[in-house]
């Protein structure tokens, strides 16, 4: 039997200059650990300890590892080969963790899609990553992912195999995967890329973020110490598990590293999360600001016992001081602000920081080796306390995206600093206050939406002459998206345009919250203005009109 030819693919790489590698090793940040290495060790040392709770399952560390090895061997028996990239789109179910651990065990490379993503996004990830397979759930939140799988294979035929958690239809079931354990590879190089995380997409489509075993494990091992996670902790995943925040800050990986218990909440609302907190005695959970406020509100009325909660983390979008005060007042546990990014750098307020810093800052970097620069528009460092662009490099911040030369040229300086796109103020203590951003994306309750991406979809509509998408302050979401549209000959209805965007195969959170029709853009502009200026003008005019109307 002849083997299929090994496809010519762009290699996966994330490298730091030698001097930095030496420094991060010498400092003890990079210890040569790998995902399969630490998971196997925990499966022995914490064999009978409960590792993962969710969806009716209660797996010990030994069971989780056995599941991972079964699925890993099964995927290889089905024809996948180490190095293949696999798009994973699963909700907060134990199989998400088992599948990801299985991919690590087989040296297959997960590419994380969110459950909210639809065909356009998943196909983009598959194409960019040159994925060979897709793992999805039969359904989640009433959406049938097998239909998406069919469309995906039609659009990206390189996705040879589909594996389904639940009823597989014509595909293979994850539950029945199996194969010889002897076919499993040894442990990977700790410097190798372990997975591809997804960026929120500040300009255009999401970018793929290659993270190595060494760098990512460092980020959550160090996070554990700063978030109070140890073997006695019970960590709840309330946000989508594929998000970098609940995955690694300290996230479920931090919890598994510590030998703690991970509790998967099927949704982020207090109605589902509170009973689980009470039943499992959850000690730590991470939320985005709107959810934290919702929880704070509900905590005052609930009959469920939330007294086990020690640390409530809030991040993904700015938590303003007044909101922080409300959260602290009603939840009665320690608040920790988390300002992170899938590209790397994560900042935490420390559990023993004075209250004022916890309420008013977004924390300071994990590592002494996180280099932070706050610079003006010309790249010159500003003095402490002034607002500037945040640039960073360090032992767990990437130096390049995968397969995206244009984004790399834009996003990294010549000496390897990542341009975060965030505008911050740094206090003498090193704590950062996020003051805004330099890029035109919308941070909708922690989900980042690229204005450009949505404008492109609107422009594809036959009755749209031009469109500009901007963020508008929103009491609940923090920001909502508003599309200013110059119609063609006929003005479509707003609902029709929203349905159009949804119909383009996009995550629902990207559908504009509001559509405003205008005759023209930029009356004050002389000649050509940038999209960025245009969006700023439209936003300013809109807010002014609202003020006048109110
Ligand atoms: P991403 O690159 O998609 O992982 O998104 C990371 C971005 O989310 C950051 O660069 C910030 O713009 C934003 N972000 C995350 N946490 C916070 C926070 N606590 N406060 C303000 N913005 C945040
Ligand atoms: O928003 C984020 O991407 C984020 C927030 C908090 C993140 O990636 C993280 C912590 O690790």
Give the chain's end-to-end CA distance (angstroms, integer): 75
Ligand at minimal distance from the CA of 292 is: 1
CATH number for 441-549 (one of 3.30.300.30, 3.30.450.20, 1.10.357.10, 3.10.129.10): it is 3.30.300.30
**Per-residue pLDDT, 3:** 57
Residue 246 near ligand 2, beta carbon < 6 Å: no
SS3 193: strand
Instruction: Using the atom order of ligand 1, give the atom closest to the CA of residue 198.
Output: 3
- Ligand 1 lining (C-beta closer than 6 Å): 199-200, 244, 315-318, 337-343, 362, 420, 422, 434, 437, 443, 448
Give the chain's mean pLDDT: 96
The percentage of the chain sitting over the pLDDT mark of 90, rounded to a whole number, equals 92
Ligand at minimal distance from the CA of 223 is: 2
**Per-residue pLDDT, 1:** 44
Q: Which tokens is 155 given? A: 């659009």
CA of 340 to the centre of ligand 1 (A): 5
Ligand at minimal distance from the CA of 448 is: 1
pLDDT in tens, 430-447: 999 999 988 889 999 999
CA of 341 to the centre of ligand 2 (A): 4
**Per-residue pLDDT, 15:** 98
Sheet holding 464-474, edge to edge: 464-474, 478-487, 514-517
CA of 434 to the centre of ligand 1 (A): 9
Burial degree of 435 (CB within 10 A; 0-12, 13-18, 19+): middle
Residue 527: pLDDT above 80?
no
Which residue among 317, 412, 421, 423 is best mutated to probe the pocket of ligand 1, counting the most ligand atoms within 8 A of its Cβ?
Answer: 317
Nearest CA to ligand 2 atom 11: 245
Residue 344 near ligand 2, beta carbon < 6 Å: no
Backbone dihedral angles phi then psi of residue 265, each to the nearest 5 degrees: -90, 125
If you average pLDDT over residues 5-24, what whole number do you get?
91
pLDDT in tens, 458-494: 999 999 999 999 999 999 999 999 999 999 999 999 9
**Per-residue pLDDT, 204:** 78
Residue 92 gets the label, from left (phi > 0), alpha (psi -120 to 50) or beta, of: beta
Residue 288: pLDDT above 70?
yes
**What is the C-alpha R_g of the chain?**
23
Question: pTM of the full predicted structure?
Answer: 0.96
Nearest CA to ligand 1 atom 3: 200
If you average pLDDT over residues 406-412, what whole number do you get?
96
Nearest CA to ligand 2 atom 8: 341
Residue 24 near ligand 2, beta carbon < 6 Å: no
**Per-residue pLDDT, 375:** 98
pLDDT in tens, 197-221: 999 867 778 999 999 999 999 999 9
Residues 6+ apart with CB under 8 A from 91: 115, 137, 140, 141, 240, 241, 266
Instruction: Using the atom order of ligand 2, give the atom closest to the CA of residue 247.
Output: 11
Q: Kindly compute the dihedral angle of the four CA atoms of residues 54, 60, 62, 66, in this order, to the nearest 10 degrees.
A: -20
Residues 6+ apart with CB under 8 A from 5: none
Residue 316 near ligand 2, beta carbon < 6 Å: yes
Q: What ranges do the domains of the chain cover?
A: 35-49+57-187, 441-549
CA distance 501 to 455: 10
Q: Find out whether 15 and 386 touch, Cβ atoms under 8 Å.
A: no
The length of the chain in residues reads: 550
CA distance 444 to 481: 7
CA distance 486 to 51: 54
The percentage of the chain sitting over the pLDDT mark of 70, rounded to a whole number, equals 97
If you average pLDDT over residues 248-277, what whole number do you get?
98
Which residue among 316, 363, 394 is best mutated to probe the pocket of ligand 2, counting the most ligand atoms within 8 A of its Cβ?
Answer: 316
Q: Would you say the C-alpha torsion 264, 265, 266, 268 has a positive or negative sign?
A: negative
Residue 248 near ligand 2, beta carbon < 6 Å: yes
Is domain 35-49+57-187 classified as CATH 3.40.50.980?
yes
Instruction: Indicate the pLDDT class of residue 8, thresholds 50, 70 and 90.
Output: confident
């Amino acid at each position: 039997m002849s083997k299929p030819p090994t496809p010519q693919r762009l290699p996966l790489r994330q490298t730091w200059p030698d001097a930095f590698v030496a420094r991060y090793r010498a400092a003890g940040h990079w210890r040569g650990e790998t995902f399969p290495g630490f998971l196997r060790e925990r499966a022995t040392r914490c064999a009978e300890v409960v590792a993962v709770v969710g969806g009716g399952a209660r797996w010990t560390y030994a069971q989780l590892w056995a599941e991972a090895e079964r699925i890993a061997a099964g995927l290889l028996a089905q024809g996948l080969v180490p190095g293949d990239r696999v798009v994973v789109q699963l909700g907060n179910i134990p199989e998400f963790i088992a599948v990801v651990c299985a991919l690590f065990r087989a040296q297959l490379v997960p590419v994380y899609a969110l459950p909210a993503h639809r065909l356009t996004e998943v196909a983009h990830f598959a194409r960019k990553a040159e994925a060979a397979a897709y793992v999805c759930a039969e359904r989640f939140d009433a959406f049938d992912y097998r239909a998406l799988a069919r469309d995906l294979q039609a659009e990206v035929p390189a996705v040879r195999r589909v594996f389904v958690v639940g009823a597989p239809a014509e595909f293979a079931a994850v539950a029945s995967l199996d194969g010889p354990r002897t076919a499993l590879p040894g442990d990977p190089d700790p410097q190798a890329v372990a997975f591809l995380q997804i960026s929120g997409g500040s300009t255009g489509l999401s970018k793929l973020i290659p993270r190595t075993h060494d760098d990512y494990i460092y980020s959550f091992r160090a996070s554990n110490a700063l978030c109070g996670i140890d073997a006695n902790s019970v960590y709840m995943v309330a946000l989508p598990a594929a998000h970098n925040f609940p995955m690694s800050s300290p996230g479920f990986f931090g919890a598994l590293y510590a030998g703690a218990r991970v509790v998967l909440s099927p949704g982020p609302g207090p109605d589902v999360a509170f009973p689980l907190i009470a039943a499992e005695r959850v000690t730590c959970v991470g939320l985005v600001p709107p959810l934290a406020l919702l929880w704070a509100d509900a905590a005052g009325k609930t009959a469920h016992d939330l007294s086990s909660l020690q640390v409530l983390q809030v991040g993904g979008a700015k938590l303003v001081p007044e909101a922080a005060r409300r959260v602290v007042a009603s939840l009665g546990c320690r608040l920790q602000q988390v300002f992170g990014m899938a590209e790397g750098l994560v900042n935490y307020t420390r559990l023993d920081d004075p209250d004022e810093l916890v309420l008013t800052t977004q924390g300071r970097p994990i590592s002494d080796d996180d280099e932070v620069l706050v610079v003006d528009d010309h790249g010159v460092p500003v003095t402490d306390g002034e607002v500037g662009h945040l640039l960073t490099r360090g032992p767990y911040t990437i130096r390049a995206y995968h397969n995206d030369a244009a984004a790399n040229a834009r996003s990294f300086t010549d000496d390897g600093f990542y341009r975060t796109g965030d505008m911050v103020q740094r206090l003498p203590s090193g704590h950062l206050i996020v003051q805004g951003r330099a890029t035109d994306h919308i941070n909708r309750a922690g989900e980042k939406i690229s204005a450009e991406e949505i404008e492109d979809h609107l422009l594809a509509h036959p009755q749209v002459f031009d469109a500009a998408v901007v963020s508008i302050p929103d009491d609940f979401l923090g920001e909502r998206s508003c599309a200013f549209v110059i119609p063609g000959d006929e003005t479509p209805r707003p609902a029709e345009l929203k349905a159009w965007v949804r119909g383009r195969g996009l995550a629902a959170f990207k559908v504009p919250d509001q559509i405003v029709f205008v005759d023209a853009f930029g009356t004050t502009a002389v000649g050509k203005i940038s999209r960025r200026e245009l969006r700023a003008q439209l936003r300013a005019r809109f807010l002014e009109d609202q003020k006048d109307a109110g």
